[in-house]
Amino acid sequence: MSKKLRRIGIVDWHQKTGFYLPVTSSYPARWLDVSPARLAHEPPDLDLVLVNDETFPYCAAGIANATRVGIPTLHLPDGSCEWRNTWQNQRTAPFMQPVLATKIACLGHSQARLLESWGNGGKCVVTGSPRFDWLVGKKARLPRQATVLIATARQPFFQHADQQAVIASLVDLKGWLLQHTAITPIWRLTAGLADVIGVSNSTTISLADQLAMVDAVISTPSNVILESMAHGLPVALLDYTNSPQYIRAAWSITAKAHLSDAIDGILAADSCRMKWQSALLDDQLECQTEATPRVIALMESLMDGSPVLGAPSPIQTPKEAQLEAEIAHLRKMISLSPTQVAYRCLCEVRRWVGGLRLSR
What percentage of residues in the chain have a pLDDT greater than 90? 59
Omega of the bond prior to 98 within 30 degrees of 0, cis? yes
CA 268-270-274 angle, to 5 degrees, is 120
In this structure, is the dihedral angle defined by the CA atoms of residues 114, 120, 125 and 131, taken in order, positive or negative?
A: negative
- Note the pLDDT tens digit of each residue in 73-84: 999 998 889 888
pLDDT surpassing 80 at residue 88: yes
State the number of CA atoms in the 13 A half-sphere of 45 facing the CB. 2
Q: What is the CATH number of the domain that holds 350?
A: 3.40.50
CA neighbor of 38 nearest in space, from 70, 68, 63: 63
Instruction: DSSP for 312-340, please give it.
Output: PPSSPPHHHHHHHHHHHHHHHHHHH-HHH
pLDDT at 111 over 90: yes
Nearest to 54 by CA among 14, 88, 97, 107: 97
- If one counts the domains in the chain, the total is 2
State the CATH number of the domain containing residue 229.
3.40.50.2000
Say whether both 225 and 342 belong to one domain.
Answer: no
79 shares its domain with 154: no
Burial of residue 245 (number of CB atoms within 10 Å: 0-12, 13-18, 19+): middle
Specify whether 311 is located in the same domain as 265: no
CA distance linking residue 271 with residue 277, whole number of Å: 10
Residues 6+ apart with CB under 8 A from 194: 187, 200, 201
Which residues constitute the domain of residue 241? 147-284
pLDDT over threshold 70, residue 50: yes
Q: How confident is residue 93, by pLDDT bands cut at 50, 70 and 90?
A: low
Residue 175 reports pLDDT greater than 50: yes
Domain boundary among 250, 284, 318: 284
Query: Which of 284, 319, 341 is the last residue before a domain boundary?
Result: 284
Domain boundary (230, 256, 284) is at 284
Q: 211-265: per-residue pLDDT in tens? A: 999 999 999 999 999 999 999 999 999 999 999 999 999 999 999 999 999 999 9
Q: Is 299 found in the same domain as 177?
A: no
- Look at residue 308 and tell me whether its pLDDT is greater than 80: no
